[in-house]
Amino acid sequence: MTEKHMKLLVFGANGPTGRLVTQQALAEGHRVTAVTRRPDAFPVDHARLRVAGADALDPAAVDEVMAGHDRVISTLGVPYTREPVTLYSQSARHIAAAMGRHGLRRLVCVTSIGVHPELPPEEKFFFRKVVGPILMAMGRPLYEDARRMEEVVRATDLDWTIVRPSGLFDAAALSDYRVAVAPRRLPGMFTSRTDLADALLREAVDDRHPRACIEVITTQGTPSYTSVFLKEALHIGK
């Protein structure tokens, strides 16, 4: 357990990764404000947890929850869609502006390895030629806005870290996950949400890679492409 106990503000806290970030942060002794549009549906209860209702697309609501925190983490996300996506870039603008007004410096946010136009190295023929291109095409509106989010965040003078996971899956335990600082790429197509939550916390609390983009890749216990495709991309079994 870390010795530094902080006040963390988590956007997207009610998503599967956000819940893990919240639970892992509380287990490490931090105070957490979990931001969600549906505070009544937030499933975690803890003496050091505050649940705040705010829409990340509403700049006044974002400003209202900002005061009194040390670090900000964003795991905000939308499912695959054909419609234009603005959540990533808009929320980044509102969060960065509110952080500036409240004197906060450290922002850790999630985008995706899909921001790269190329697939990861070392993947097999079937992935390179079939699965990868389908996923990239399905995720295009989302990845385009994640790229815009990265531009917004990079243009700030905050101590930001952008964390790019690969295909997310749920795992019971933390693994010995790999981290690479961009532009270095890692082979591998999966990131467990438990590993991603830990990587986000290590960045927020331990300041590992300020003003850098990092990839987080899980190599142990990874699922099959088919199961991830069905669950995450088509929302079957969620």
Tokens of 77: 């996300």
Nearer CB in complex with ligand NAP: 56/152: 56
Q: Which of 4, 37, 124, 128 binds ligand NAP (CB under 6 A)?
A: 37
Nearer CB in complex with ligand NAP: 110/205: 110
Piece in contact with ligand NAP (CB under 6 A), picked from 23-31, 69-77, 100-108, 202-210: 69-77
Nearest Cα neighbor of 219 from 185, 183, 186, 184 is 186
Nearer CB in complex with ligand NAP: 96/168: 168
Q: End-to-end distance of the chain based on CA atoms, in angstroms?
A: 32
Nearest Cα neighbor of 100 from 132, 66, 130 is 66
Q: Which of 10, 56, 201, 205 binds ligand NAP (CB under 6 A)?
A: 56
Residues 215 and 180: their CA atoms lie apart, in Å, by 5
Nearer CB in complex with ligand NAP: 89/112: 112
Using CB under 6 A as the binding rule, whether residue 110 contacts ligand NAP is answered as yes
Nearest Cα neighbor of 159 from 115, 127, 195, 203 is 203
Are 94 and 35 a contacting pair, CB within 8 Å?
A: no
Piece in contact with ligand NAP (CB under 6 A), picked from 13-21, 99-107, 126-134, 172-180: 13-21
Using CB under 6 A as the binding rule, whether residue 120 contacts ligand NAP is answered as no
Using CB under 6 A as the binding rule, whether residue 12 contacts ligand NAP is answered as yes
CB of 38 to ligand NAP, least distance (A): 5
Using CB under 6 A as the binding rule, whether residue 16 contacts ligand NAP is answered as yes
Q: Which of 77, 120, 132, 188 binds ligand NAP (CB under 6 A)?
A: 77
Are 74 and 17 a contacting pair, CB within 8 Å?
A: no
DSSP string, 154-210: HTSSSEEEEEEE-EEE--SS----EEEETT---S-SEEEHHHHHHHHHHHHHH--ST
Residues 56 and 4: their CA atoms lie apart, in Å, by 28
Using CB under 6 A as the binding rule, whether residue 57 contacts ligand NAP is answered as yes
Nearer CB in complex with ligand NAP: 18/223: 18
Buried b (16+ CB within 10 A) or exposed e, 85-95: bebbbbbbbbb
Chain positions 134 to 173 lying near ligand NAP, rule: CB under 6 A, are 165, 167-168
CB of 166 to ligand NAP, least distance (A): 6
Residues 214 and 165: their CA atoms lie apart, in Å, by 9
CB of 22 to ligand NAP, least distance (A): 12
Task: Work out the number of other CB atoms within 10 angstroms of the CB of residue 67.
Answer: 13
Q: Provide the binding-site residues for ligand NAP, judged by CB under 6 A.
A: 12, 14-18, 36-38, 55-57, 75-78, 87, 110, 112, 165, 167-168, 193, 232
